Structure 1
Amino acid sequence: MIAAVGLKRLTIVTLALACAFLIASVQSAVAQSVQFKQGVAEAAASDRDLAAFYKANGYRPIWTGKGATDKRRRAAFLDAISEAGAHGLPEGRYSPETLGVNLRAVGSDRDLGRLEVQMSQLFLRYARDIQTGILTPSDIDEGLVREVPYRSRQATLDAFAKSSPAGFFRALPPTSPEYARLMKAKLEFERLVAGGGWGPRVAADVLKPGATGAAVIQLRDRLVAMGYMRRNAGATYDDRMTEAVRAFQEDHGLATDGVAGPGTLGMINIEPETRLAQIIVAMERERWINMPKGKRHILVNITDFHARVIDDGKLTFKTRSVVGKNADDRRTPEFSDVMEHMVINPTWYVPRSITTKEYLPLLQKNPYAVGNLNLVNSRGQVIPREGIDFTQFTAQSFPFDMREPPNQGNALGLVKFMFPNRYNIYLHDTPAKSLFAREKRDFSHGCVRLNDPFDFAYTLLARQERDPVGFFQAQLSTGRETYVDLKEPVPVHIIYRTAYTEAKGRTQFRNDVYGRDAKIWQALSDAGVALRAHQG
């Protein structure tokens, strides 16, 4: 559903005038009557935070008073909720019309006290929504295990009561550059939708350099509309079009071969309404992570198949990654934690699920299968396989663990990077280097494999070692498992963005590899979020 951007200002202004008139006509000459305080106490009784706030402030109003301060608060609040749609929030959730009905029902100071609390409840809902999102991630998908940094409701009210109202509302949304750029991209795509989009889709399965015909003209026109080519009358898939296709592929995580194959044309034929929905989902996701990311932090975008090191807001290192396969129990979860150390020449402690589901069936057929792995008993002793009848065990009764000692072929490669967490997820090297050449790289059991783990290690060690390369290689050459603490632990954020921005350049789009964004968009739609077409 596409909704035109409504001019709600008239409704807001009408409500503000009605509120001011009501307050002037209903409230008694006494600043806060006993009836008003009773109304506040009764309305706030079922809400612990509101009850504590109003008890602490003597049941004085912050919204419905006759003074200039309360008037500024009302005006700032009404102005803020009138712009909720610009943030991809459901405008009806903070309906001025609903509040207007209650205004008309006010006939006493006691009623006004109830309205005071209702406005605080609406304010707290809006403040939480725009700060940390309207959805609870874990309700959407089991892989969304992120802990949202919710603010204290009582502290929010306290801060608002002591702040400049307009300034307070301006500071509520995420202040990250990413959120600001997503807001800009949202407006851009709303204008695209209002203008009819990018024109006809390309009616072809594959187009290659040198091709001609109607489909090439459609491709040309669509690339022009998207800003990848200047307007021209060319009807041949020439060098200009090849470069434009490469640029498009770069912005969409595709192999940059300049050929408009099925994957590229599939992306080119996606309409701006779909991209707009992705941007709105990305804004909701940015609200879930509305907290300091760390002056230095590691960012792993699952859908982009890359890991990055960010220093003071700037990209300082980037490498390809492999993430969890799109299958049950293998998808990489989304969360934030802190990297504390790396392990050079690591031992692979095979997860129980892999041991029993994948390796036990192999051992039951051949007791010497997966000979690179050791059997280990509960005391940590390596157990010879001779004489063991593996067919007697089930997944539940199998009494051994399995480990792979440090070696060149170790499943973890030669280094792993640890941020201890309940999900047993970490970053690591891998001997399976060929997978990094793939366009879509979801192959792991959930952990994140790095294409350039040594360079990643050097980047981290450069903060604490004069010669990070020499230090790392010296530990590596011993062949022994070695733990190296990071003197400055580094926050790690595993995110999932099918739409994201860069400081310079176009908005980037990726495929919804696990289908999580589709679920989020459905939940947002169910909550009342609508796509908007913006004229002008």
Structure 2
Amino acid sequence: MGPFSKKWIDVLLGTTVACLGFSFLEGFSKGEALADVSSSSSPANKTVESSPPSSSSSSLNATREGLQSLLEGGRNYLGFEASEIPYSTLLKLYAKVGFQPLWFTEDRKSTCASAVIKMLEKADEEGLEIAEYAPFLKKLEGYVGADASKQETAAQEDLLRADILLSYVLLQYISDVQGERVSPKKIDKVLYLDNPKIDEPLLLLDLLQKAPENTCEWLEKLSPQNPEYKALKGVLKDLKSQQVQGKEEKILSSGPTLKKGSSGKRVLELREALASRGYNSGGTSDIFDESLETIVKAVQKNLGLSVDGVVGQDVQEHLSKRIEDKINQVIVTLERWRWMPEVLGSKYVLVNIPEFEARTYENGQHIFTMPVIVGRTYRETPVFSSEIVNVIFNPTWNVPKLIAVQDELKDVQKKGADYFISKKIHVYKNGTEVDPRRVNWSEVTKQNFDFHLKQDSGKDNALGRIRFTIISPFDVYLHGTPKQELFDKTKRTLSSGCIRLEDPLKMAEFIFGKDSKWTAESIQNAIDAEKTETIPLQTPVKVYIQYFTVFVDQSGTPRFMEDVYGQDKEILKALKSRRAQAP
């Protein structure tokens, strides 16, 4: 964006100061702020009258004009070409405070400059890259010294440049810590999330205005404040401390599958790797015995893997992780939390895909956790946030085209038309129902499939007895399932994208609420009636279908889950591809 004219800046200044009048514009009157506004911009071309300026007023005007002059330098307003923060954003910030310095004031006393610098130097505590801010801090040091220690002897122009530069890098930090580093949708199409819409200047000025005088506590409020995010910061801090102290966990070398009866050096490695992660390895024998199998099963259960006691590729991958890998996993999860709303709502459901669990919350309290089944690795459950708008008892199922041609077509070709009849699946062509026995299914292909399939409600319906409708661009819902035996598995990537609930009746009770007429008994009566019934919700319930591979459980223990869809790898790659802009 090109430089703004001084006249345009003055008009903007007059408008913003007249409207806002922030309390920290001490010594800078409204009349002084408007003194330079062009007469052509005043109502009815009236001239703004003012008394002769005092020395203090003249000094303020000189400072303001100095900042305006630097900002008029266009993309070189920092003394180098800048692109991360748009020129208009800096202009907006300074216009709203009457083009007064924010950090290096007239009396040369630092406000929160040193605190801001220290915060930026510890950006890695938020899972951010210090290297992305270091070049700017180095440039800032050239103007005012390390930690702004030389500002009292700095030239006036250097102070103004330092002020703009610190604002620039702080606004970039706010953008980053609020979740705008990378675009989820550009990383993976199933990451159906938008970056938070942040107005960095307004956020900063709002915190400054509300902060107690002479304190910098507002800096702590720049990052997400939810307890999950804070807990993950603690995990990150602990991991980095272990890394500095050289407390690396033992690694299991890659190789063939280990199971009960295996023996040799890698069994000893397995025991050491388990012991270094806090598991009782069961002795020092190089034979994979029953006690070791029991321990492996416990590890698999904690990781959300299939529990068979066999050390295959998935367990080996976990036991080969170094602290650096875990740190990266936490960094990605912190980024995911930044994409979440700051306030999740008074009542909501949170589905965590890698954990195969759904949690319900109301009024800040965790109500219950429920096992779920999520999409297969080739039919991933999308990551998105939305609302549950109605509950359907005894739902019918309109089979999505993808499932119809990839699954149902194969089944009917293999089992014959009676398959559709036994499953109560109706076949429609051009809106008219056709007898599946009159179709030569052997000649039907994915390419010429022009049928619509609809399954009746009932005990065999793929959606079970209850469906929870979610507003989304996907045919994805929360619902029951006739295949309850699948919940016996630990790794439950088994659906075609929807989220199957172990106990949909319990979920319905929660969704309707304690004050609703829909009690457990009335819900069961509605199901037993075998009638399809849709119940709109007067107040939709928030639902978050998310993908957190690291979380802190109720006992305070960090749990690292398998990256079942490989999403974390792609997000980490996108984050690492960012490079600091060298000034």
Which amino acid in structure 1 is aligned with residue 252 of structure 2?
Answer: R
Of the three residues 338, 341, 345, the one matched with 2:394 is: 345
1:66 aligns with 106
Of the three residues 129, 139, 146, the one matched with 1:98 is: 139
Residues 43-58 of structure 1 aligned to structure 2 (within 5 Å): 43=74, 47-58=87-98
Cα distance between partner residues in 1 of 2:467 and 2:242: 45
SS at match of 2:467: strand
1:130 aligns with 177
Deviation for aligned residue 1:494:
0.9
1:373 aligns with 425
Moved more, 91-100 or 332-341: 91-100
Residues 16-35 of structure 1 aligned to structure 2 (within 5 Å): 30-33=59-62, 34-35=65-66
Given the alignment of the two structures, is residue 177 of structure 1 paired with residue 227 of structure 2, yes or no?
A: yes
Of the three residues 162, 176, 195, the one matched with 1:148 is: 195
- Sequence identity of aligned pairs in percent? 26
Residues 91-490 of structure 1 aligned to structure 2 (within 5 Å): 91-95=130-134, 96-100=137-141, 113-164=160-211, 166-194=216-244, 195-201=246-252, 205-208=257-260, 215-229=266-280, 244-255=295-306, 263-327=314-378, 330-356=379-405, 358-359=407-408, 370-371=420-421, 372-376=424-428, 382-384=433-435, 400-465=451-516, 468-490=519-541
Question: 1:344·1:475 contact (CA, 8 Å) conserved in 2?
Answer: yes
Question: 1:342·1:417 contact (CA, 8 Å) conserved in 2?
Answer: yes
Of the three residues 127, 130, 146, the one matched with 1:88 is: 127
Cα distance between partner residues in 1 of 2:228 and 2:57: 49
Change (3 A) 1:381 1:262: closer
Which amino acid in structure 2 is aligned with residue 126 of structure 1?
Answer: Y
2:24 aligns with none
SS at match of 2:216: helix
Which amino acid in structure 2 is aligned with residue 433 of structure 1?
Answer: Q
| CA deviation string 1:196-226 (max 9, x = no partner) | 41235368732549x8865554444333322
Change (3 A) 1:228 1:295: farther
Change (3 A) 1:462 1:257: farther
Deviation for aligned residue 1:270:
2.6
Change (3 A) 1:474 1:60: same
2:31 aligns with none
| CA deviation string 1:397-455 (max 9, x = no partner) | 86653321212211211111112111222111122333333333223221111222223
SS at match of 1:375: strand
Cα distance between partner residues in 2 of 1:432 and 1:134: 42
Cα distance between partner residues in 2 of 1:368 and 1:258: 40
Gapped regions of structure 2 (runs ≥ 5):
1-55, 78-85, 146-150
Gapped regions of structure 1 (runs ≥ 5):
1-26, 530-536
Deviation for aligned residue 1:516:
0.8
Change (3 A) 1:238 1:78: same
Calculate the aligned-residue CA RMSD, in Å: 3.7
1:21 aligns with none
Deviation for aligned residue 1:89:
0.6
Greater radius of gyration (CA):
2
Deviation for aligned residue 1:273:
2.2
Residues 486-501 of structure 1 aligned to structure 2 (within 5 Å): 486-501=537-552
Change (3 A) 1:382 1:102: farther
Deviation for aligned residue 1:470:
0.8
Cα distance between partner residues in 1 of 2:289 and 2:438: 69
Residues 504-515 of structure 1 aligned to structure 2 (within 5 Å): 504-515=555-566
Question: 1:252·1:510 contact (CA, 8 Å) conserved in 2?
Answer: yes
Cα distance between partner residues in 1 of 2:301 and 2:412: 45
Question: 1:408·1:431 contact (CA, 8 Å) conserved in 2?
Answer: yes
Question: 2:251·2:322 contact (CA, 8 Å) conserved in 1?
Answer: no
1:36 aligns with 67
Give the structure-1-normalised TM-score: 0.80
SS at match of 2:360: strand
Cα distance between partner residues in 2 of 1:231 and 1:410: 47
Question: 1:323·1:448 contact (CA, 8 Å) conserved in 2?
Answer: yes
Cα distance between partner residues in 1 of 2:282 and 2:218: 45
Question: 1:133·1:285 contact (CA, 8 Å) conserved in 2?
Answer: no
2:15 aligns with none
Question: 1:301·1:494 contact (CA, 8 Å) conserved in 2?
Answer: yes
| CA deviation string 1:55-107 (max 9, x = no partner) | 33322221232347x71221221021011011111112112113335669x99
Cα distance between partner residues in 1 of 2:138 and 2:473: 46
Change (3 A) 1:214 1:352: closer
Question: 1:374·1:403 contact (CA, 8 Å) conserved in 2?
Answer: yes
1:15 aligns with none
Which amino acid in structure 2 is aligned with residue 169 of structure 1?
Answer: L
Change (3 A) 1:262 1:127: closer
Which amino acid in structure 1 is aligned with residue 127 of structure 2?
Answer: G
Which amino acid in structure 2 is aligned with residue 345 of structure 1?
Answer: N
Cα distance between partner residues in 1 of 2:448 and 2:104: 67
Deviation for aligned residue 1:126:
0.2
Change (3 A) 1:216 1:386: closer
Deviation for aligned residue 1:188:
1.9
2:41 aligns with none
Higher relative contact order (CA 8 A, sep 6+): 1
Aligned length: 497
SS at match of 1:370: helix
Which amino acid in structure 2 is aligned with residue 307 of structure 1?
Answer: A
Which amino acid in structure 2 is aligned with residue 152 of structure 1?
Answer: D
| CA deviation string 1:159-181 (max 9, x = no partner) | 14414362221011111221122
Deviation for aligned residue 1:111:
6.3
Of the three residues 96, 114, 117, the one matched with 1:78 is: 117
Which amino acid in structure 1 is aligned with residue 487 of structure 2?
Answer: F
